[in-house]
Amino acid sequence: MRVLGIESSCDETAVACVDDGGVRSNLISSQVDLHRHFGGVVPELASRAHLSNILPVLSAALEEAGWTLDEVEAVAATAGPGLIGAVLMGLSCAKSVAWARRLPFVGVHHIEGHILANDIERPMTLPALVLVVSGGHTQTVWMEAPGRYRVLGKTRDDAAGETLDKAAKLMGLGYPGGPLIEKLAAGGRAGAISLPVGLRRRGELDFSFSGLKTAVRLRLEAMGDEVSEADRADLARALQDAVIESLVLKTAAALDALGAGRVRGLYLAGGVARNAALRDAFESLAAARRLVFTPPPPAYCTDNAAMIAWAGRHRLLAGQRDSLQLGAFARRPLSSWS
């Protein structure tokens, strides 16, 4: 089945073409330069950029795949969660193509797209526990099969990626902050600075990062106006270590809550899944628990349309269809459809 996928939940205008053989094209028009000046995504600017970029990116994705619109067999698009104006841009375009070509259409939950990005290059080992960790989301999801999910733990305040971005802004590093923190942390000393890990009590599955963000601000204030590069590197290392400790701690707690034998695979999903130190920590956790762990390809970690097209393909092959009256949503928990 040839599926055209569109993703526009935040600041990436993305279109992809996938079929039974895999990804034929996966193009992204980034808005990083547009939002860098503001230190974060400005929703109205993001929506306007999607409006300008969506059709050129769609045409380029079809050209790279070697397809025409006549050869597309179905359309999938992110329906949410995300910035509502941004989501509407991609969703409206996808529904217009489906209506004009009389094609099957499905709206995809953004989190499901991130999860099933792990399935694109090789089938996932199931049942699996997936840590979804990005700028807007941090949660552990038990996945029995495509379309069968149960959220076990989630952040009570900030997402891990948001914490990294905002801490990077406090440190004067720029935007997006996650990769900059990782680069700076590589030169920092382990244990030189201690930062808190929220909700550490035994058996607690939820995450909390607001206290960590506050601790970074207070540490910077204590350092004064003249902060050396070595001190900033130590702080970045402490921040990254605290985030990873929390993510591993809660993932291990989720595995304990599920019990032995109910999980075979361990996976990462979302933009923060590109972090090398986090991947190493999860490789160690998987080895200790005797679970299969294959890190997701970096190209499919951050927001992209291949993951949306692939998730949509799963639904379409299972006989799922959505009405063209399907609405966009800014927030909605991940739920099962199978």
* Average pLDDT of span 179-188: 96
Token pair for 131: 């840590």
Question: Are 270 and 133 within 8 A, CB to CB?
Answer: yes
Question: Radius of gyration (Cα) for the chain, nearest Å?
Answer: 20
Task: Give the pLDDT confidence of 246-295 residue by residue, as tens digits.
Answer: 999 999 999 999 998 999 999 999 999 999 999 999 999 999 999 999 99
Task: Give the pLDDT confidence of 104-161 residue by residue, as tens digits.
Answer: 999 999 999 999 999 999 999 999 999 999 999 999 999 999 999 999 999 999 999 9
Q: What is the mean pLDDT of the chain?
A: 96
Token pair for 167: 């801490």
Q: Which residues pair with 278 in a beta bridge?
A: none
**Does residue 39 surpass a pLDDT of 90?**
no
* Average pLDDT of span 63-70: 97
**Does residue 176 surpass a pLDDT of 90?**
no
* Residue 77: φ, ψ to 5°: -150, 155
Q: What is the pTM of this model?
A: 0.95
Residues whose CB is less than 8 angstroms from the CB of residue 48 and which lie 6 or more positions away in sequence, other chains included: none
The pLDDT, as a whole number, for residue 277 is 97
Q: At what angle do helices 177-185 and 276-289 cross, to 10 degrees?
A: 80
Q: Where does the chain show beta strands of DSSP type E? A: 3-7, 12-19, 22-30, 74-80, 105-109, 128-133, 138-145, 148-154, 265-269, 292-293
Question: Are 86 and 13 within 8 A, CB to CB?
Answer: no
User: What whole-number percentage of the chain has pLDDT above 90?
Assistant: 91
**Domains of the chain: residue spans and CATH:** 3-116+300-317 (3.30.420.40), 125-296 (3.30.420.40)
Burial letters for 129-146: b for 16+ Cβ neighbours within 10 Å, e otherwise? bbbbbbbbbbbbbbbeeb
**Does residue 224 surpass a pLDDT of 90?**
no
Of 7, 9, 2, whose CA–CA distance to 94 is shortest? 7
